[in-house]
Amino acid sequence: MRTAQRYEQIIVEAVSPAIECGRHPVKAIVGETCTVEATVYRHGHERVRAVVLWIAPGDDAARELPMTLINPGLDRWRAELRLEAAGRHRFTIAAWTDRYASWIDELRKRVRAAKPDVASEIAEGIALVERAFDGQPEAGREIGTLLDRLRGSAGEPARLLDVASAEGAVALMARLAPRLDEVRYEPELAVVADRERARAGAWYELFVRSQGSDPARSGTFRDAERRLPDIQAMGFDVLYLAPIHPIGRTGRKGRNNSLDARPDDPGSPWAIGSERGGHTAIEPAIGTLDDFDRFLRAAGARGLEIALDFAIQCSPDHPWVHEHPDWFYQRSDGTIRFAENPPKKYEDIYPLNFDTADWMHLWEALREVVRFWVARGVRIFRVDNPHTKPIGFWAWLIDSIRAEHPDVIFLAEAFTRPPMMRALAARGFSQSYTYFTWRNTKSDIVDYLTELTRPEMAMAFRPNFFANTPDILPPILQQGVPAAFKSRLALAATLSPSYGIYSGFELLEHDAIDGREEYLDSEKYEIKVRDWNAPGNIRDFITRVNGARRENPALRQLTNLRFLDIDHDQLIAYVKWTDDGSSRVVVVVNLDPFAAHEGTLQVPPEAAGITDGQPFTVRDAVTDSRYVWGPRNYVRLDPVAGEPVHIFRVETG
């Protein structure tokens, strides 16, 4: 037989926002409103009251924000909280029986039913107010006034009801009445508010050593500085640098990943470490720490943030190999195992062993690397292969860094299983690489974006759509057709708030290793010198697309995406608009880079900000053409004779 015991009277459940019942913080942006909801109820007919207890970053005590009952039938409550500061905001729900409001309900029923004797009910209400006074003597004047008015109308039930149920009286008792059966939701929940760049930004990736003019000499930070005006002019926000650290010589790779490196081969920047230092040093061929600091300042002056590559691996020449050999994978013969990802082998790289008995010192050493660059002014890190390191390490590292510097952003380069990608995001990564690179058909794109924009996914996972990377040259680009490059860039830049390209994209670089998604003569293993104004480049197109992103806040959001019906499988159309209606954008893309296609689409009136049937004007950011649209609209995109993309701003209603 079950032993009788006192159970909770108030039930608080279905609290949102929450990831895995509060195990991980929800993502948000500073300045946004966070909508907190919960189902709150109790047995019987008594009223309940609920508040959000909210602790903002830097605060010691919780602030209390009243919740509003938005659906009485489902006992659903809501509060709107504005996130004013970056960092971790902690919250929970407190709820209790509102005995004063319950008393008013009961008294109102009796007064309306003209019950002759309500003296005991009146006495009960006055006693509730007296108990509130006993618990809050500092509020004596306010409660005393209410008590005097209640006692003065005790002989007139209808008048007393008016006094008791006045807005001021109800608010006073809500604030001061004892919460005799208060419960608090567990576990405590959290929302991490990031700065805007964590959600939206246009990324441009480059190798510093390839920014010079002589293929026989490494480019330097000074050479890269001379490229800043071009990158700024194209409209990029983030300049991501391939690793800038000393490159090892042991096992150094030659051109096209050859095992036989020539004396002048520069090696892979991801083979980090030499006698000149490790993860906190600069490759001498590209400059010094002072040169880096100057470059960082020059980029900042042009509105460009620098993102560094954080690759947790070492060349055989890295100082850690000699200082901490137990941090690496030891073979039975005492040698250290190099990295492999069959069929690929990386003889120039030693992976770190997170199962080492000295794991805590390893973790701390890696945190000091991040702290070193943060101290120099870096606030964005692209993390190489985070899925091959423990998830617990990332939660610890990111929490540690962001507790000190809440403006730091981490991008996860994890092309792996979806559960792992989402888990990394839930543990703190601000953004994540995605499978966009391989989503090319209309159905694939619609299905993938439908998945990414689901509320439960979007609370944790922020995508960054890279159209190409030094490791990935997707088949759709390998034919070198300008329209393919344009359509992929436009899709990446308008579907996702954050997107990126690897330098050379604007020049339509497309030579691949046969049968592989890899660049032939890859910049990972050699210095490349490019003519950035070479004929056939699409710099102007990129500039126009990035300009549309800057002019239209709707393109810097994710969950506002809505796909539109258009009657052709090679045409994809979608609309985005902001809640306030100030930005409305319709995008149409021809997915076939070789042929013109046409179709008809309809824009929902609410998306265009019009009444049904009302004409409206759209302007194309790509061609600057204007059209008057109505209920049904004809679109034709010729990627050979024209452009494969429309990015329409809805201008008038």
SS3 for 288-318 is CHHHHHHHHHHHHHCCCEEEEEEECEECCCC
Q: What is the pLDDT of residue 178?
A: 87
Give the rounded distance of the alpha carbon of 25 from its chain centre. 12
- Is the separation of the CB atoms in 439 and 452 below 8 Å? no
CB neighbourhood size of 8 (10 A): 10
> Which of 156-165, 200-209, 598-607, 621-630 shows the lowest mean pLDDT across its residues?
156-165
Measure the CA–CA gap between 235 and 361, rounded to whole angstroms: 42
**More confident: 157 or 96:** 96
Measure the CA–CA gap between 497 and 554, rounded to whole angstroms: 9
At 627, the pLDDT band (50, 70, 90 cuts) reads very high
Q: What is the pLDDT of residue 339?
A: 87
Q: What is the pLDDT of residue 6?
A: 52
CB neighbourhood size of 653 (10 A): 14
Q: What is the pLDDT of residue 314?
A: 98
Segment 458-484 shows an average pLDDT of 97
Which residues participate in catalysis according to the annotation? 384, 413
At 137, the pLDDT band (50, 70, 90 cuts) reads low
Q: Does the pLDDT at position 4 exceed 60?
A: no
Q: Does the pLDDT at position 653 exceed 60?
A: no
Segment 520-537 shows an average pLDDT of 97
Measure the CA–CA gap between 255 and 524, rounded to whole angstroms: 8
**More confident: 147 or 516:** 516
Measure the CA–CA gap between 246 and 450, rounded to whole angstroms: 43
Measure the CA–CA gap between 411 and 469, rounded to whole angstroms: 14
Q: What is the pLDDT of residue 593?
A: 98
Q: What is the pLDDT of residue 176?
A: 84
Q: Does the pLDDT at position 147 exceed 70?
A: yes
Reply yes or no: is the peptide bond before residue 17 cis, omega within 30 of 0.
Answer: yes
Going along 74-119, which residue ranges are E strands? 76-82, 87-97
CB neighbourhood size of 514 (10 A): 6
pLDDT, averaged across the chain? 94
CB neighbourhood size of 185 (10 A): 23
* Segment 212-262, tens digit of pLDDT: 999 999 999 999 999 999 999 999 999 999 999 999 999 999 999 999 999
CB neighbourhood size of 569 (10 A): 13
Look up the pTM and report it.
Answer: 0.93
Give the percent of the chain with pLDDT over 90.
Answer: 85
Q: What is the pLDDT of residue 582?
A: 94
Q: Strand 645-652 vs strand 584-590: parallel, antiparallel, or unpaired?
A: antiparallel
> Residue 99: enclosing H or E segment and its boundaries?
helix 99-112
DSSP string, 596-632: -EEEEE---HHHHTS-TT--EEEEETTT--EEEE-SS
Q: Does the pLDDT at position 1 exceed 70?
A: no
* Segment 579-616, tens digit of pLDDT: 999 999 999 999 999 999 999 999 999 999 998 889 99
Domains of the chain with bracketed CATH:
10-192 (2.60.40.10)
Biggest alpha carbon–alpha carbon distance for the chain:
106
Segment 628-632 shows an average pLDDT of 93
Segment 283-311 shows an average pLDDT of 98
